[in-house]
Every structure is written in structure tokens, then in C-alpha cells.
């Protein structure tokens, strides 16, 4: 099977490619700029912005992929408040470019769009595990762009009678995730303290929020199953089913590090609008592709902290 991955040099992209390469797949990558990891793999890499339709079409015409896994995005909620237009164009127009180019070349192919649990927005306030059929009320520029692209793609898929899977992936974390996401923000600071590069103070945002977290390996496993198995067009949650308080993550990382660390709440790190608690129900995906998460949350934190200590 030939699989084209966009955003291949990003956090999820690198983990996904490592796993896909171990299987009998033919991989092609799209990435905006030159990337050391991608250059080290023996695969075709197209360096382009997903807003550049002609280059995208050229890549897809040359490679003729069976499956497109669309990861490329402005993925950071905090950044989306500062750059709403960039977030909208990348996440909406970029996704539409890929849809148009992909199905122009292969109307029998599978388009996997990576969306976000954040699309549920205010509905999460119900405090019950979110299901795909529940209403979405996104509350920030990032989740609005993700919901918009998801709905555009699904409506077009209905009209064009093509196969589009759009995930609502809940929070994920692991080695290689950028600063700007909560586990990386905390683990990188704890690692710097451990290495003596920083005084024993950690700066954090809103600790009262809670999220449904998956370790990156479980997320990749879900994406691979969606790639390999037949799956009807629609929306699929990818979640653990458990909500974890941000404060727990902080305390656990400090406990694992075995150092006394002073916690400083930094109001600048708070979001203009925050839905406090997310938890998802992923029965739909489990039933169709037989996926279930397997990594213990605390073990995932240990691996992530080790990554930061060693890098
Ligand atoms: O910003 P760059 O140059 O490192 O590339 C990022 C890429 N990307 C783009 N590629 C082409 N044209 C663009 N206009 C463009 N804007 C961004 O998407 C990077 O390689 C990738 C995103 O990687 P991360 O920010 O590390 O996100 P992550 O965690 O891998 O998320 C994957 C997907 C995204 O759709 C998220 O919204 C979702 O999972 O949660
Ligand atoms: N980033 C960050 N940094 N968040 C903090 C911090 C901090 O120092 N302190 C507290 N938080 C809180 C945030 O206010 C939020 O409630 C929670 O920790 C998680 O923040 P993020 O890791 O930035 O994740 P997110 O939920 O806003 O968005 C992520 O998850 C989505 C899935 O729901 C991103 O990975 C999105 O791309 C993804 O779609």
C-alpha cells in the first residue's frame, strides 16, 4: 500500500513514519521544510506548503498514493489565539487543497484527516464521555478551524462519494513533542532543573483543567489500524476514556524527578477561553477496527521526562 503523510516531520509524523516503515508500506512524505529525520529515511520527501496547490497536485500525480494521512496543521491552541488567520488558512484551505488533489488522482483512495477533541468545545461541560454524535461547540480559533475542515471534508465526501475518515484525537504526548503542549512544557522544565540548567522553579498555567490523554504509541496504533482496515466515512474519537487533571501531571513529573521544585502559577499561560474538562468515548473506533489503548499514563510520563533529560 502506498501511504502519503503530510506534516511528516512533526511530532506525530515522526512517530507514525517510524511505525509505518517497519511494515510493508510504501511511504511518501510532505513536509514544509528540510527535515533531518525525513532525510535519514529512504523515502520520497516533497518540501512544500500545503497552501501551494500546484506542488501538492504534482506530488500526488507522481506518487499516486492509496491512502493520505493528513497531519499537517497549525496544531497549537495557544498560537491560534495569536495567529487566527494563519491557523484558519493552514487548517481549512490546506486540508481542502489536499482533498481536491488526492481525489482528483484517486477517487477510490482513503483520506484520513486528523481532527481534534477540542472541536467538542463547550459540549465537554456536560462532564460525560463525549460521543461522535454530540454537538460540537468549539471555543478557540484552533478548534473552530479543525471543526470547519472536518465538516467541509465530510460534506464534500458525501457529494463525491469518496472515503474520508476524520478523527477527533484527544490530547496526546510523548518524546519529541514540541514545547507549547502541557506535558512537554512541564517535562522540559523539570529536565532542565534536573540537569542544573535552571533554578528549582517551574512556571505553569491553569492546573485546574483536565484532559483525556493518550501516549503517542497508542495514537499511532489507532492511525495505523484506520489506515489498514476498511472503515466507513465519518468521525471517530480516539481517546482513553479517562480524564486526568493537569495538576496530577505536574505533581507526578516532580515526584518522578525526586527534586524539590517550587511551582509558580503564571497567569500569562492561561487561555482566553478554556473548557476545563474533556473525556472521550472511543467505542465506535474500537468496534470497527479493534483498537484499544495499552500504555499506562505514568509510564508514558516517565518516558517523556527521560527524553527531555537525554536531549
Ligand atoms: O511548522 P513546520 O514547518 O515544522 O511543519 C509542520 C506542518 N505544517 C505544515 N506543512 C505544510 N504546510 C503548512 N502550511 C504547514 N503548517 C504546518 O505540520 C509540522 O511538520 C506539522 C505539524 O506538526 P506538530 O505541530 O508537531 O503537530 P502534531 O502534534 O504532530 O499534530 C499532528 C496532527 C495535527 O493535525 C494536530 O492538529 C492534531 O494532530 O492534533
Ligand atoms: N501548553 C500548556 N502549557 N498548557 C498548560 C500549561 C502550560 O504550561 N499549564 C496548564 N496548561 C493547561 C492548558 O490551559 C490546557 O487546559 C491543558 O493544560 C492542555 O494544554 P495543551 O497541552 O496546550 O493542549 P490543548 O488541550 O490545548 O490542545 C491539544 O490537544 C488537542 C486535543 O484535544 C493540542 O495537542 C491540539 O493539537 C489537540 O488537537
Ligand 1 pocket, residue 51 CB under 6 Å: yes
Q: Kindly report, residue by residue over 39-77, the tens digit of the pLDDT.
A: 999 999 999 999 999 999 999 999 999 999 999 999 999
Residue 237's DSSP bridge partners are 168
Q: Whose CA is nearest to atom 14 of ligand 2?
A: 206
State the average pLDDT for the chain: 97
pLDDT in the model for residue 302: 98
Which atom of ligand 1 is nearest to 13's Cα?
Answer: 30
CA distance 141 to 119: 10
CB 49 within 8 A of CB 93: no
Work out which ligand 1 atom sits closest to the CA atom of 9. 20
What separation in Å is there between the alpha carbon of 186 and the centre of ligand 2? 11
119 CB near ligand 2 (under 6 Å): no
Ligand 1 lined by 33 (C-beta under 6 Å): yes
The span from the CA of 166 to the CA of 168, in Å, is: 7
Ligand nearest to the CA of 174: 1
Which residue reads 471517530 in cell numbers? 236
Compute, in angstroms, the gap from residue 208 CA to the centroid of ligand 1.
27
pLDDT at 274: 86
Backbone φ and ψ for 98, nearest 5 degrees, come out as -65, -40
Instruction: Using the atom order of ligand 1, give the atom closest to the CA of residue 76.
Output: 25
Within 10 angstroms of residue 197's Cβ, the number of other Cβ atoms is 9
In this prediction, residue 24 has a pLDDT band, given cuts at 50, 70 and 90, of confident
Residue 89: closest CA among 145, 138, 150, 152: 145
Q: Which pLDDT tens digit goes with each residue over 108-120?
A: 999 999 999 999 9
pLDDT tens digit string along 139-191?
Answer: 999 999 999 999 999 999 999 999 999 999 999 999 999 999 999 999 999 99
Q: Are 138 and 146 in contact (CB under 8 A)?
A: yes
Residue 309: per-residue pLDDT: 97
Tell which atom from ligand 1 comes closest to the C-alpha of 33.
3
Residue-wise pLDDT tens digits, 265-286: 999 999 988 889 999 999 999 9
In the chain, which ranges are continuous DSSP H helix? 11-22, 36-39, 53-63, 77-82, 84-88, 94-105, 141-160, 182-194, 216-228, 246-257, 283-289, 297-310
pLDDT higher than 90, residue 215: yes
Residue 25 has pLDDT above 90, yes or no: no
> Does ligand 2 lie within 6 Å of residue 147's CB atom?
no
CA distances from 181 to 102, 188, 240, 283, 303 (A): 31, 11, 18, 26, 16
DSSP string, 25-87: -EEEEEESS--HHHHTSSS-EEE--TT-HHHHHHHHHHH--SEEEE--S---HHHHHH-HHHH
Residue 206 beta carbon below 6 angstroms from any ligand 2 atom: yes
DSSP 230: -
pLDDT at res. 273: 84
Ligand 1 atom with minimal separation from the 90 CA: 14
Distance of CA 77 to the CA centre of its chain: 12
Residues 6+ apart with CB under 8 A from 9: 29, 31, 32, 33, 35, 37, 38
Ligand 2 geometric centre to CA of 163 (Å): 30
32 CB near ligand 1 (under 6 Å): yes
Q: Nearest C-alpha to atom 19 of ligand 2 is from which residue?
A: 182
**Residues ≥6 apart with Cβ < 8 Å to 91:** 73, 74, 142, 145, 146, 148, 149
Amino acid at each position: 500500500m502506498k501511504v502519503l503523510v503530510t506534516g511528516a516531520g512533526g511530532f506525530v509524523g515522526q512517530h507514525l513514519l517510524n511505525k509505518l516503515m517497519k511494515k510493508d508500506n510504501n511511504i511518501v512524505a510532505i513536509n514544509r521544510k528540510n527535515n533531518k529525520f525525513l532525510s535519514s529515511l529512504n523515502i520520497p520527501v516533497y518540501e512544500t506548503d500545503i497552501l501551494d496547490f500546484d506542488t501538492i497536485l504534482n506530488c500526488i500525480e507522481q506518487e499516486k498514493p492509496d491512502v493520505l494521512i493528513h497531519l499537517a496543521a497549525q496544531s497549537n491552541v495557544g498560537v491560534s489565539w495569536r495567529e487566527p488567520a494563519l491557523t484558519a488558512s493552514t487548517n481549512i484551505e490546506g486540508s481542502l487543497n489536499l482533498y481536491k488533489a488526492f481525489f482528483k488522482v484517486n477517487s477510490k483512495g482513503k483520506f484520513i484527516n486528523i481532527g481534534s477533541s477540542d472541536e467538542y468545545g463547550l459540549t465537554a461541560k456536560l462532564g460525560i464521555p463525549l460521543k461522535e454524535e454530540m454537538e460540537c461547540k468549539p471555543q478557540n480559533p484552533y478548534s473552530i478551524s479543525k471543526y470547519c475542515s472536518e465538516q467541509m471534508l465530510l460534506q464534500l465526501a458525501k457529494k463525491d462519494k469518496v472515503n474520508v475518515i476524520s478523527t477527533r484525537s484527544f490530547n496526546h504526548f510523548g518524546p519529541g513533542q514540541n514545547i507549547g503542549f502541557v506535558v512537554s512544557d512541564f517535562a522540559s522544565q523539570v529536565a532542565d532543573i534536573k540537569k542544573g540548567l535552571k533554578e528549582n522553579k517551574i512556571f505553569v498555567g491553569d492546573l485546574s483543567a483536565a484532559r483525556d490523554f493518550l501516549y503517542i504509541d497508542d495514537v499511532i496504533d489507532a492511525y495505523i489500524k484506520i489506515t489498514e482496515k476498511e472503515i466507513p466515512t465519518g468521525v471517530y474519537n480516539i481517546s482513553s476514556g479517562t480524564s486526568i487533571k493537569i495538576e496530577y501531571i505536574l505533581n507526578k513529573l516532580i515526584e518522578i524527578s525526586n527534586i524539590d521544585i517550587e511551582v509558580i502559577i503564571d497567569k500569562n499561560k492561561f487561555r482566553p477561553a478554556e473548557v476545563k474538562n474533556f473525556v472521550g468515548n472511543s467505542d465506535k473506533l474500537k468496534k470497527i477496527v479493534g483498537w484499544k489503548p495499552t500504555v499506562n499514563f505514568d509510564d508514558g510520563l516517565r518516558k517523556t521526562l527521560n527524553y527531555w533529560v537525554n536531549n
